Amino acid sequence: MTFNQKIPKHDSSMNIENAQVQMRKGILEFCIMHIISRGEVYASDMLDELTSAKIMVVEGTLYPLLTRLKNSGLLDYKWVESQSGPPRKYYVLTDTGKKFLEEMQQTWNELSDSVHTIVQKTQHLENENTESSTN
């Protein structure tokens, strides 16, 4: 195929919304563990922070993930009586969870640096091409 040929229509399952959702899902556990690492946290507070950070998540996604993290020994919870209704479940990281988060943080730093390097090189080449086409 030459550059002048029409690009064939891509698979409809590969659209930007799907790609964005997959990227967010990939970092959701990491973000949740960071939120919990600050201290005892209620699930609805996690939802609020994730929503305000534009990492879209719903209760139907959060609660199964919290259960999986608990079953893996990475977090625990305690029940706290509420003045305005039923007791609330507050989540905390276990010692194992703290160590796991440290490893995830190291991996994130490496991935972030790698992605930044690739994107920066692409942007540099695009800038060079723009400059050479205007001369």
Helices and strands in the chain, H and E counts? 4, 3
For residue 46 the two structure tokens come to 């996690």
Token pair 């625990």 is found at 76
pTM (2 d.p.):
0.77
33 contacts: CB under 8 Å, gap ≥ 6: 69, 74, 75, 93, 97, 100, 101, 104
Q: Does residue 132 have a pLDDT over 80?
A: no
- Annotated domain spans of the chain: 16-134
The predicted model gives 56-61 an average pLDDT of 83
pLDDT at 10 over 60: no
Residue range 16-134, CATH number: 1.10.10.10
Q: What's residue 1's pLDDT?
A: 45
Query: 30-45 pLDDT, tens per residue?
Result: 999 999 999 999 999 9
**Residue 80 bridge partners (DSSP):** 88
User: Each residue of 98-115: pLDDT tens digit?
Assistant: 999 999 999 999 999 999
